[in-house]
A and B are shown apart, each in its own frame.
Chain A
Amino acid sequence: MRPEHWLYTIPLRLRSLFRRRQADQELDDELRDHVERKTQEYNAKGLVPEEARRQALIEMGGIEKRKEECRDARRVRWLQDLAQDLRFGLRMLRKSPAFTAITIATLAMGIGANGAIFAVIENVLLKPLPFPDSAELVDLGHDVPGIGLHGRSAPFLYFIYGEQSRSFQSMGLWRENSNNLTGLAEPEHVRSLALTSEVLPMVGVQPLLGRLFSAADTAPGAPLTAMLAYGFWREKFGADTSMIGRNIIIDGQPRQVIGVLPRNFWFMDSKAAVVLPLQFDRNKIFLGQFQYSGIARLKPGVSVAQASADCARLIPVALRSFPPFPGLSLASFERERITPAFTSLKASLLGDIGGVLWVLMGTIGMVLLIACANVANLMLVRTQGRQQEFAIRSALGAGWWQIARELLVESLVLGVAGGAVGACLALGALRLLQFLHPANLPRLEQISMDAASVLFTFAISVFAGLLFGLIPAIRYAGGGGAAALRTAGRGASESRQRHRARNTLVVVQVALALVLLIGSGLMIRTFQALRHVNPGFVRPEELQTFDISIPRSVSAAPVAVTRMEQSIADKIAAVPGVSSVGLTNDVPMDDGHWYDPVQIEGREADNLPGRVYKFVSPGLLATMGNSLVAGRDFTWEDLYDQHRVVMLSENLARELWGTPQAALGKHVRHLSISPWLEVIGVVGDERADGVDQPAPETIYWPLLMDHFGPDPLHATPDVSYVVRTPRARSSALMQELSQAVWSVSKELPLANPQTLEDLYNKSLSRTSLALVMLGIAGAMAFALGVAGLYGVISYSVAQRTREIGIRVAMGAQHSTVRRMFIAEGARLTVIGIAVGSVAALGLMRLMASLLFGVKPFDPLTYAGVAAALAAAAAMASYIPARRAMRVDPIVALRYE
């Protein structure tokens, strides 16, 4: 019976829903008809017609109320009511376009900012890496505290783990590099990814064309192969499918192209154009060579901790399975205390960016709260204006929920509209972020407004709508009873108690604005402190750098390589505008360093800490502007005559011998088989790891040396040229420099042209990112907070016009009246600043990792910000207070 019943009733319910107006009319007719008949009945019984009608109406009760009850009985009411509330709400919003526009704009900013940050956090921090079963992937990093290495791996460990470890399904090594690509129109310097054959299959890559590397390709002595990245293949080779099988010339050696990678290939943010196989010969592996990264896929059920323990016990085995690097002893490796420091692959990619992002999320969340407080205030004001309407409706029988529901629908409409606009703003902001390409943000291409972000944006719009809708609803939907009916518009003036909700909101806004401004202030101080650090070099904007790599095919003999480098330097020095040139293997703040221990004559050769190894030409120090604290620089004769000379950084000299002067004449060497070199110069400290890091202890080797290592002569074929010229960064300069290089050798592409200023700015970028975001958030908070205060005082003045009129008529001075309102504003500001200061003390500690040179409780910043906010608030109170002063008592008393 039930299904049949339902089938019958559904058309009835639908009819109630859709032909509402007709149904309404019928209901009205029906009830009136009943009243008519009743009236006739009473007429017939002998009552006077008016009395009969009155009696009939009394018995019916309120016709509207009966109609409501009948509609209730039809039980589709909620949907109709919702539709009606929606229509009504939209109409109200259309009638006050200024309010609607301001509210939606405010909300759009707050919600959009939150949506954007959430998209970044979700895609960068939360989403797993785009590899199948990415939770099983680990980075095989090792800590070698002995020489200051972290997170690296080495071939000798690769072989031992591969042969004896029980924890991995698959394991490989990879590194990023750059190489010369010749044979095209112009020689090019390309970024490359070198890896063992296990790596690509491990992360689930399928080639677009051709095949991946096999174990045969990575065997020592196998024919050389290469793969191309999709973008590079399309750009340089026109997406020619016949590239497979053809050769390209990398570093002077032909390699056969065996495959092309797919368009969506992504591996650890690598920008490589070509992918090369790592070919290790197990018989020629030494201990050491930690220039690689290791990657492995764990066996199911094995945890990272278990894998670490497994490999830790294999390290001593590994140390005995391979010979140490010539000149180093096994004991020195053992004492270096190599330990596995495996982390999930995602963690190794993200580093510590998480901290910055969560701080940003927190601050943007606070901005949203401030925006909501502002809107809530505006809504309170608006709703108070309708108080009389609510009182009447409540007296006529409207329930609390009916009125509240209407207010909530209105605020939800505002919230969702603000959210929709905000989502568009967020999209734009993300595009902008990708365009700006901040240096430290991993997985940048993977950031987008995906479904989760849109859902989040919608959720916070609803939440915001409910939040600032409930406040006026709770306050005013009750109707207020007789008091509201009576005092709305007439009566003495507003009591202080009515201001309470608005005042609380303003205090909250001021407090939050203070917190955000203090955060910005601290970041500004941090930035200033960083910029004041002496980096060790001078006027980086005049220093143009570029890289050159001299392949063996062009020049192999060390002396010839060095002569070539010198003649290039001479040609560059002849370019107009160039005041000096130098070359080195390691430009400060650019990528990593070569770390190795340094042996000191007369001291123990074991357990030595790692120092930064820099290879420099004569004149580099002068070009960079490094200060020579003691002794002298190299000369070209020192290099070609193989004088045994070396320079040290000041901090290293002080550490070893107390004063730079004392270091001169002492002897150091690289390995036990190297000759002792005399310290002839001490160089001022250089912040090569960025200005927020201490200057590393550095040793400066000559570009050309004898018996530096096992080979008789050692040169540095991979160098960066540093050129001091006011014309740095201009493309004309780069053209002339390229010509200078090619006039010596046509096979040498110039790579990575950048100024030292770029590198310097990049090292500040983590701080500057946080600074910019906090600055924006602080500025928004400041504007909203001050606007909120202004609004409240203005409204207070407007509401109390009558009171002001009375006071002035009774003899109060205008200035007294003005002081009254300023005092009100001051009171709110002081409370807000007090609350905000306490909150800031608690919250700024969370930011401590981002700060440099300033403590989280820096009193100067707190005082300065509080003063600035107080001043702005004073202005915000003063302007409406002045208006209060001008109130004409007669006008005030006459009108409401």
Chain B
Amino acid sequence: MSKPSDLVQGTLDMLLLKILALEPMNGFAVSQRLKQVSGDILQMSDGSLYPALHKLEQEGWITAEWKTSEYGRRAKYYSLTHLGRRQLEKEADNWGRLSSAISRVIKLKEA
């Protein structure tokens, strides 16, 4: 599976942050939720998911905890930090401005 076609890496990070803002979950659950919420349009390959998550953790925007999962094994659960919340707000703002600008250009009436 390839990356979602019209998304840039930074936007991807924003999506992950948002998903984790909803509730803490582990990596598998994040990719499932993303698929589900976007109606199968936005899918992340497993190969790019985990590096992205680790980068977010290194930046301090998400934090991880090892808990016993429902299968009785240990699993890593990510959650958003307050730094991450601020980053999310900032990126959401940027995204809003970018997308409305693009919309304005696209909606221009042709002569």
Contacts A29-B74, A34-B26 aside, 19 further interface pairs with beta carbons under 8 A come to A1-B86, A8-B60, A9-B59, A26-B76, A27-B54, A29-B76, A31-B50, A33-B26, A33-B69, A33-B76, A36-B71, A38-B28, A59-B45, A59-B46, A65-B47, A66-B46, A66-B47, A72-B51, A74-B58
Q: Which 4 A-B pairs rank lowest in CB-CB distance, beginning with the nearest?
A: A73-B55, A37-B28, A69-B51, A70-B54
- What's the Cα separation between A37 and B86 when bound, in Å? 31
Q: CB-nearest residue of chain B relative to A76?
A: B58
Contact: A60 with B46, CB < 8 Å? yes
Task: Return the contact of B46 from the options A5, A9, A38 (Cβ within 8 A).
Answer: A38
| Residue contact A8 to B83, C-beta cutoff 8 Å | yes
Q: Does B1 contact A (CB under 8 A)?
A: yes
A73 to B55, CA, bound (A): 5
Kindly state whether residue B92 has any CB partner on chain A within 8 Å. no
Contact mask B39-59 → A, CB, 8 Å, 1/0? 000000111001110110111
17 CB < 8 A contacts A-B? A8-B83, A9-B60, A12-B58, A30-B26, A30-B27, A33-B74, A34-B26, A34-B28, A34-B46, A37-B28, A59-B45, A59-B46, A61-B45, A66-B47, A66-B50, A69-B47, A69-B51
Chain A positions within 8 Å of B, measured between CB atoms, are 1, 4-5, 8-9, 12-13, 16, 26-27, 29-31, 33-34, 36-38, 59-61, 65-66, 69-75
Interface size on B, residues (CB 8 A): 25
Decide: B54 and A74 in contact? CB cutoff 8 A.
yes
Known contacts A38-B28, A70-B54, A72-B51; A30/B76 CB under 8 A: yes
Contact, CB under 8 Å: B58 / A73: yes
Selected from B46, B59, B76, the residue in CB contact (under 8 A) with A61 is B46
Q: Judge whether B75 and A33 touch: CB under 8 Å.
A: yes
B58 touches A9 (CB 8 A): yes
**A45 nearest CB across to chain B (Å):** 13
Instruction: With both chains docked as a complex, state the minimum distance between the C-beta of B86 and any C-beta of chain A, in angstroms.
Output: 7
A13 to B57, CA, bound (A): 10
Q: For A75, list chain B residues within 8 Å (CB).
A: 58
Which residues of chain A are within 8 angstroms of B28 by Cβ–Cβ distance? 33-34, 37-38
Chain B: CB-nearest residue to A34: B28
Q: Which residues from A are CB-within-8-Å of B83?
A: 4-5, 8
List of A residues within 8 angstroms of B50 by Cβ: 30-31, 34, 66, 69-70
Please, which residues of chain A bring their CB within 8 A of the CB of B55? 73-74
Binding site for A on B (CB under 8 A): 1, 26-28, 45-47, 50-52, 54-55, 57-60, 66, 69, 71, 73-76, 83, 86
> Please, which residues of chain A bring their CB within 8 A of the CB of B46?
34, 38, 59-61, 66
Query: How many whole Å from B107's CB to the nearest CB in chain A?
Result: 35
C-alpha spacing A1/B73, complex, angstroms? 38
Nearest B residue to A65 via CB reads B47
CA distance A616 to B27 in the complex (A): 107
Q: In the bound complex, what is the Cα–Cα distance between A8 and B52 (angstroms)?
A: 19
Q: Do A59 and B1 touch (CB < 8 A)?
A: yes
Closest residue of chain B to A75 (Cβ to Cβ) is: B58
With a cutoff of 8 Å between Cβ atoms, the chain B residues found around residue A5 in the complex are: 59-60, 83
Question: Which residues on A sit within 8 Å (CB–CB) of B75?
Answer: 30, 33
Q: CA of A69 to CA of B55 in the docked complex: distance in angstroms?
A: 10
Q: A8-B60, A59-B45 are in contact. Are A73 and B74 (CB under 8 A)?
A: no
Bound together, the chains give a CA A34 to CA B55 distance in angstroms of 18
CA distance A251 to B95 in the complex (A): 101
Contacts of A36 in B (CB 8 A): 71, 73
* Cα(A544)–Cα(B47), bound, Å: 92
Interchain CB contact under 8 A, B58 and A13: yes
Q: How far is the CB of B23 from chain A (nearest CB, A)?
A: 17
On chain B, the residues within 8 Å of A65 by CB distance are: 47
> A16–B60 Cα gap in the complex (Å)?
13
* Residues of chain B with a CB closer than 8 A to A9's CB: 58-60
Q: Which residue of A is nearest B47, CB measured? A: A61
How many angstroms from the CA of A671 to the CA of B59 in the assembled complex?
A: 98
CB distance from A65 to the nearest CB of B (A): 8
Residues of B within 8 A of A59 (CB): 1, 45-46
Question: Closest residue of chain B to A4, judged by CB?
Answer: B83
CA distance A651 to B1 in the complex (A): 103
How distant is the Cα of A59 from the Cα of B69 in the complex, in angstroms? 22
Query: Closest CB of chain B to A691's CB: distance in Å?
Result: 77
Chain A residue nearest to B57 (CB atoms) is A12
User: Given A33-B73, A38-B46, A59-B45, are A73 and B54 also a contact pair (CB < 8 Å)?
Assistant: yes
Partner of B60, one of A12, A30, A66: A12
> What's the Cα separation between A74 and B59 when bound, in Å?
9
Q: Could you tell me the distance in whole angstroms from the C-beta of B43 to the nearest C-beta in chain A?
A: 11
Bound CA–CA A746/B48 (angstroms): 103
Docked CA distance A37–B46 (Å)? 12
Taking the nearest CB of chain A, how far is it from the CB of B97, in angstroms? 20
Question: In whole angstroms, how far apart are the Cα atoms of A65 and B26 in the complex?
Answer: 20
For the complex formed, measure the closest distance between the CB of A728 and the CB atoms of chain B, giving whole angstroms: 84
